[in-house]
Amino acid sequence: MSTQTVLYIILAGIIALLLALFQYIYKSKSSSKRRIVFAFLRFLSIFFTLLLLINPKFDSYKVYAEKPNLVVAIDNSLSVNHLNQKENTLAFVEELKNNKTINEKFNIEFYSFGETLNSSDSLSFNEQQSNIHKVFKALGEIYKNTVSPTVMVSDGNQTYGNDYEFSAKKYNQPIYPIILGDTITYTDLKISQLNVNKYAYLKNEFPIETIVLYTGNQEVISKFIVTIGDKIVFSKRLSFNQINNTQLINFTLPANRVGVQSYKAKIVPINSEKNKINNIKNFAIEVIDQKTKVAIVTTITHPDIGALKKSIEANEQRTVTFLKPNEASGQIDDFQLIILYQPNNYFRNLFKELKAKNKNKFIISGTRTDWRFLNSESKTYSMGLTNQTEEYQPISNNNYNEFIINDLDFNSYPPLYSAFGDVEFKIPIETILYKSVNGIDTKAPLLATFETNERREAILFGENIWKWRAQSYLNRKNFNSFDDFIGKIVQYLSSNKRKNRLNIEYKSFYEGSADVLIKAQFFNKNYEFDANETLTIFLKNKNSGAETTFPLILKNNNYQVDLSSLPASDYSFIVKATGEPISKSGTFKILEHSIEQQFLNANVTKLQKIAANSKGESYFISSYNSVFNDLIKDDRYKLIQKSTKNTVPLIDWNYLLFLIVLTLAIEWFLRKYKGLI
C-alpha cells in the first residue's frame, strides 16, 4: 500500500471522527452516555464509506510447492509386439503408476506415439508407422519452460521422418530411454529397399532396383525371385558373406496389360533366419496406354517455369514441353493443356488458334504480363490498368467445388507478386484462392477457374509460385502436397468432361503402411456442393468375399473415409447417396507390407547416444527398476517453492458493505428504541 493511500485513510478517519463528534457530542444537548455509542456507530459507518471511496489495494501472497513433471512417452507401434516386448512394456507402465515415491515426487504425464504423439496411456501396439522425431518436436513445445525429465519406452526404430537424434539435441530435457529389445545380432537376409515407379506405359519395360542386405558371419547362397501370381517373371542367384553383405539388383519387366499389376519380390530365407517377414516385399505398378501432354508457353525465363514442370511431372502420367508462342502455333492439338505464362503481344496468333479450336488453357500473370493485350483478347474478364504492383497473400476458399482441395497451410505461404488493379469477370467463376493484402481479405480472386462454351480455363494473378513449392517442403519436408495441388488443376483443365453429381477421389493401389483415404463430393441438382447428404461406402474383399459398410464423414468441402484398418487385399466398392439414387463404384488394392515388422533388434546405439547427449541415462527393459532409483535420487528434480502475489482492491471485499449497512441499522434501531426518531 502506498504512502499516499495511508495518508488518505488517516484523513478519512479524522473526517469520520469529527463528523461523528460534531453530530452527537458538540451539537447534541443530551449528556447521556448513549451519545458515545451513537457517535462510535456513526464514526464507523462514515469511515467505512470513505474507505470504499478511497478503495485501497492489499497484496496477498500464496506460497505453494510445485512438483517437476515426469514425461513418459511409450512406443505404440507394431514393432514392439513384433519384438515380443508388449508384456514387458505393460509391466513397466503398471509399475510406474503404482510407485508411490515417484508419484509423490513428480507429476506424471503419459503419452503414446506411433505416426503421431497422443496424450494417452492406452496402448494397442498396432500403429503402422513410428516417427520419433515428431515426439521430441511436440514435447519440446509443450514442456519448453519446465523441468520435465522424459522417459521414452521404445525400441528406437523409426520408420519415417527426420533423424530423431538431431531433434533430441534441441529437446532441453534429460532423456531416459527404456530400451525394448536386445543387442544380439541374428543371421538375417532382407530386402532393404525396392524402388519402382508407380506407372508404366503399355508395351514398354519398367525398371526395378532392389537392395538386399545380409547380416551374419557365414557365407550363404540364396535366390532372389519376382513373381506375379504363381508365375516367376525374374530370378537371380545371390551369394553373401561377412564382407560382401550387400547386393544391388537392377532389372526390367514388361508392361503387357493395362491396369494395376501386383508383384511379389522375395529373397529365399536361409534355415537360421529368425525374421522371415522382411524377406518379402509386395509392390504394384499401374500400366496406362497414354500420357497427358502439357505445353508451357512463354517468352521469358523465370523460376516458376521450372517449378511448374517439376510439379506437373511428379505424376509420371504427365509430360511437359517448353515452347515459344510461334513454336506452339500449329501444334496445339498435340497437347491436352496449354499453360500461358505471362502472355504478351507475341501470343496474339496463339490466342486466336486456341479460341478457334476451343482449347482449354491456364493463364499465369505477373509483373511482365501485358494486360492491354489480355484485355483485348479476353471476352470473360478485364483488369484495370495501373503502373503499380502489389504482393498478394493467398487465402483458401473452403467452398470451392470443382474438385477436392486439400489443406496446404496457405496462410504460411509467401505472397505472389503481380500488377495492382481490380479484375472484372463477366461470367460466373469458381475461386480457389482469394487475395489478401496486409492481412485484409479483399474477396478478389487470386486463382480461379471458369467454364465458357464447353471450354475450361484457369487464371492465376501472381508470379513466384516457385516460392510456394519451396514453402510446402519447409512445412512438410516434401513437395507432395503442392505437386498434388498443381496436379489437380492440370487434371481438371485437361478434360472437358461434364461434372458429375458424385465425384470420388482414390488411388488404384495403396502401400500397406500408408493411409487408405477415399474422398467424395456430392452436388445438388444445381451443381452446388451439398453438405447435408449422407454418403455410405459398401466394400467387398474380392479374396475373402467379406462385405463391410462405412459412413463417409464431412470434412471441409468433401466427404471422406479412412480405410487404413483394412487388411491387404483386392477390394471393390460402391459409394451411395442415401437421399437420392446416385452411386459410383471402383476398385483398389492394398499391398501387404508392414514396415514395423522389418526390425530384428532395438536401435540401442542411437538410444544410448540421445541419453548421453541430454545428460540422461539409458536402461534395458529387463532392469527398468534402476530408472526409478535414479530419478528419485537425482538432485535436479526437487520440489520448487513458488509464490503468487494477488492484489485485491477493498471494493471487492463484500463484508465491508455489510458492516456499513449493519452499523447504520444498529444506530437507527437504537435511536428508534430511545424515541429519538
Burial 83-119 (b: 16+ CB within 10 A, else e): bebeebbeebbeebeebeebeebbebbbbbbbbebbe
Percent of the chain with pLDDT over 70: 94
Residue 388 domain flag: yes
For residue 580, count CB atoms less than 10 angstroms from its CB and return exposed for 0-12, middle for 13-18, buried for 19 or more: middle
Tell me what pLDDT residue 26 has: 66
pLDDT higher than 60, residue 658: yes
Q: Are residues 129 and 8 in the same domain?
A: no
- Could you tell me the CATH number of the domain that includes residue 618? 3.40.50.410
Q: Are residues 365 and 309 in the same domain?
A: yes
**DSSP H or E segment with residue 159:** none
pLDDT higher than 90, residue 309: yes
Tell me what pLDDT residue 102 has: 92
Tell me what pLDDT residue 233 has: 93
Percent of the chain with pLDDT over 90: 40
Q: Rg for the chain (alpha carbons), in Å? A: 37
Please say which residue of 493, 515, 544 terminates a domain.
493
Tell me what pLDDT residue 218 has: 86
Evaluate whether 338 touches 359 at the Cβ level (below 8 Å). Answer: yes
Side-chain-side CA neighbours of residue 330 (13 Å): 5
What is the average pLDDT across 432-437?
Answer: 91
Tell me what pLDDT residue 337 has: 93
Tell me what pLDDT residue 273 has: 81
SS3 30: coil
Number of domains in the chain: 5
The amino acid occupying position 523 is: F
Q: Phi/psi at 369 (nearest 5 deg)?
A: -80, 135
Evaluate whether 533 touches 502 at the Cβ level (below 8 Å). Answer: no
In the structure, what pLDDT confidence band is assigned to residue 435 with cuts at 50, 70 and 90? very high
Q: Are residues 333 and 476 in the same domain?
A: yes
Please say which residue of 493, 511, 542 terminates a domain.
493
pLDDT higher than 60, residue 30: no
* Cα 276 from Cα 82, distance rounded (Å): 12
Q: Percentage helix, strand, coil, to 5, in the chain? A: 30, 35, 35
For residue 281, count CB atoms less than 10 angstroms from its CB and return exposed for 0-12, middle for 13-18, buried for 19 or more: buried
Q: What's the gap between Cα 532 and its chain centre?
A: 26
Tell me what pLDDT residue 485 has: 92
pLDDT higher than 80, residue 525: no
Write out the E strands in 180-335.
188-196, 199-201, 205-215, 220-228, 231-240, 246-254, 259-267, 280-288, 292-297, 318-323
* Cα 369 from Cα 365, distance rounded (Å): 6
Q: Are residues 526 and 630 in the same domain?
A: no
In the structure, what pLDDT confidence band is assigned to residue 169 with cuts at 50, 70 and 90? very high
Please say which residue of 453, 473, 493 terminates a domain.
493
Q: Which residues contact 142 (CB under 8 A, 6 or more apart)?
A: none
Tell me what pLDDT residue 643 has: 67
SS3 117: strand
Residue 192 domain flag: yes
Strand order in the sheet with 199-201: 199-201, 280-288, 259-267, 220-228, 231-240
In the structure, what pLDDT confidence band is assigned to residue 616 with cuts at 50, 70 and 90? very high
* Cα 34 from Cα 77, distance rounded (Å): 86
The amino acid occupying position 330 is: G
pLDDT in tens, 51-110: 888 887 777 767 667 889 999 999 998 888 878 889 999 999 999 999 999 999 999 999
- Could you tell me the CATH number of the domain that includes residue 565? 2.60.40.2950
Residue 538, CA distances (Å) to 41, 546, 585, 633 in order: 85, 11, 9, 59
Question: 208 is in which domain, residue-wise?
Answer: 188-286
Q: What angle do CA 636, 624, 91 make, to 5 degrees?
A: 125
Tell me what pLDDT residue 132 has: 93
In the structure, what pLDDT confidence band is assigned to residue 305 with cuts at 50, 70 and 90? very high
In the structure, what pLDDT confidence band is assigned to residue 422 with cuts at 50, 70 and 90? confident
> Which residue(s) pair with 619 in the sheet?
178
Tell me what pLDDT residue 64 has: 65
Evaluate whether 461 touches 365 at the Cβ level (below 8 Å). Answer: yes
Write out the E strands in 356-476.
361-365, 381-383, 389-396, 416-419, 423-425, 430-437, 440-452, 455-461
The amino acid occupying position 539 is: L
Q: Are residues 449 and 583 in the same domain?
A: no
Q: Are residues 447 and 557 in the same domain?
A: no
SS3 299: coil
pLDDT higher than 90, residue 136: yes
Residue 644 domain flag: no
DSSP for 625-643 reads HHHHHHHHH-TTS--EEEE
Q: Are residues 482 and 381 in the same domain?
A: yes
Copy the grid coordinates of residue 230. 504363381
Residue 643 domain flag: no
Q: What's the mean per-residue pLDDT of the chain?
A: 86
Copy the grid coordinates of residue 284. 504394384
Q: Which of 5-19, 109-123, 471-485, 643-657 has the lowest mean pLDDT?
A: 643-657
Q: Are residues 507 and 530 in the same domain?
A: yes
Q: Are residues 519 and 376 in the same domain?
A: no
Return the higher-pLDDT residue of 28 and 360: 360
Tell me what pLDDT residue 14 has: 86
Helical axes 465-476 vs 480-493, angle rounded to 10° = 130
User: Cell 513433471 maps to which residue?
Assistant: 69
If you ran DSSP here, which 8-state letter would residue 215 be given?
E
Q: Which residues contact 445 (CB under 8 A, 6 or more apart)?
A: 423, 425, 429, 431, 433, 434, 435, 459, 461
What is the average pLDDT across 144-170?
Answer: 89
Copy the grid coordinates of residue 627. 530408472
Q: Which residues contact 652 (CB under 8 A, 6 or more apart)?
A: none
DSSP for 282-295 reads EEEEEEES--EEEE
> Which residue(s) pair with 85 in the sheet?
none
Tell me what pLDDT residue 661 has: 84
What is the average pLDDT across 443-456?
Answer: 89
Residue 359 domain flag: yes
Residue 323 domain flag: yes
Tell me what pLDDT residue 537 has: 94
In the structure, what pLDDT confidence band is assigned to residue 639 with cuts at 50, 70 and 90? confident
Q: Which of 149-163, 303-317, 524-538, 615-629 has the lowest mean pLDDT?
A: 524-538
pLDDT higher than 60, residue 12: yes
Return the higher-pLDDT residue of 296 and 650: 296
- Could you tell me the CATH number of the domain that includes residue 449? 3.40.50
Residue 591 domain flag: yes
pLDDT higher than 70, residue 502: yes
Q: Are residues 474 and 614 in the same domain?
A: no
Q: Are residues 542 and 564 in the same domain?
A: yes
pLDDT higher than 80, residue 34: no
Cβ neighbour number for residue 392 with a 10 Å cutoff: 20
Check: pTM over 0.75? Answer yes or no.
no
In the structure, what pLDDT confidence band is assigned to residue 29 with cuts at 50, 70 and 90? low
pLDDT higher than 90, residue 499: no
- Could you tell me the CATH number of the domain that includes residue 251? 2.60.40.10
Q: Are residues 370 and 449 in the same domain?
A: yes
Tell me what pLDDT residue 598 has: 65
Copy the grid coordinates of residue 451. 467454364
The amino acid occupying position 293 is: K
